[in-house]
Amino acid sequence: MSRTPLSPTDAQALLKAVLAANDGTSNPRLRLVLDSLIRHLHTFALEVDLTPDELQVGLDFLVAIGKATGPEKHEGILLADILGLATLTQLRGARHAVEAGGTEPALVGPFWRANQPQRPNGSAIASDATPGAPLKVTGRVTDLEGNPIANARVETWQASPAGLYENQDPGQEDMNLRARLGTDTDGRFWFTSVRPAGYPVPTDGPCGKLLAAQGRHTMRPAHLHFIVAAPGHKVLATQYFDAEDPHAFDDVVFGAVGSLLRRFEPDGQGGYTLDVTLKVERGETRLPHCPLP
């Protein structure tokens, strides 16, 4: 039985053939995602009249993303961050909780580490050798109705006053400025640290070249990361930002939404305080992917 050959100059016939090749994908969600991806990729290529040389540049860029990923950073996550894709998926995934009064999410980012040290409430998460203004953080984990959640797992991590996470900085102790805490019977947790600084995202890889090509700055405003995991509740990943940072309203990864901007309050003794309430939604407890060991 003869078959009509595919004409390589016929974009519609080519798209139809590629979509047909995806029909055998057994996972329904994967088939849906690939169908949409294929359609958008073909439309994109036609819209910009993509040349073979330009396609090769793009493929080489993706290879470079993989090669730039290692124990100090995840370049793929950084790419999703600077394109706003990671923030978009976070906001979409939490939209119902936020509408009901839940805490707005923010990026996990490329610097969360597995096995962060378990510390008791009241601990100093900064080593004695860490310079900077003292910061006392108090927080409370509740459900959407404001009821406290005891024994919730709270993970926190931050950059130093020099703008570096400890895995980037050989001068810091391993796991400095990181902790895993548990909430008390009133849903509270607390620790001491130092006031973080804003910092540039890593620019030594392909993402740095992309930002330069776009003529964009590379700065993130100062912030603290939090992940909350409590049985029977969805996991919340968020950040709280220093509202006085010069890039508080100009975050290179589009993560500093208004409700997460906070003033670090002076304590009258040369230090600062920050108080946060983390409201989580009921649902399945699924931790996000941890990018670093």
> Rounded to an integer, what distance in angstroms lies between the CA atom of residue 237 and that of residue 90?
9
pLDDT in tens, 233-249: 999 999 999 999 999 99
45 and 165 both lie in a single domain: no
Give the model's pLDDT for residue 64: 98
pLDDT at 7 over 80: no
Nearest to 188 by CA among 225, 152, 234: 152
Residue 88 belongs to domain spanning: 75-280
Give the model's pLDDT for residue 206: 97
82 and 41 both lie in a single domain: no
112 and 24 both lie in a single domain: no
Residue 289 in domain: no
Nearest to 221 by CA among 194, 198, 196: 198
How many domains does the chain fold into? Answer: 2
228 and 134 both lie in a single domain: yes
pLDDT in tens, 86-129: 999 988 988 988 999 999 999 998 889 999 999 999 999 999 99
> Rounded to an integer, what distance in angstroms lies between the CA atom of residue 79 and that of residue 82?
5
Residue 205 in domain: yes
In this structure, what CATH number is given to the domain that contains residue 148? 2.60.130.10
pLDDT in tens, 23-50: 999 999 999 999 999 999 999 999 999 9
98 and 171 both lie in a single domain: yes
19 and 164 both lie in a single domain: no
36 and 96 both lie in a single domain: no
15 and 100 both lie in a single domain: no
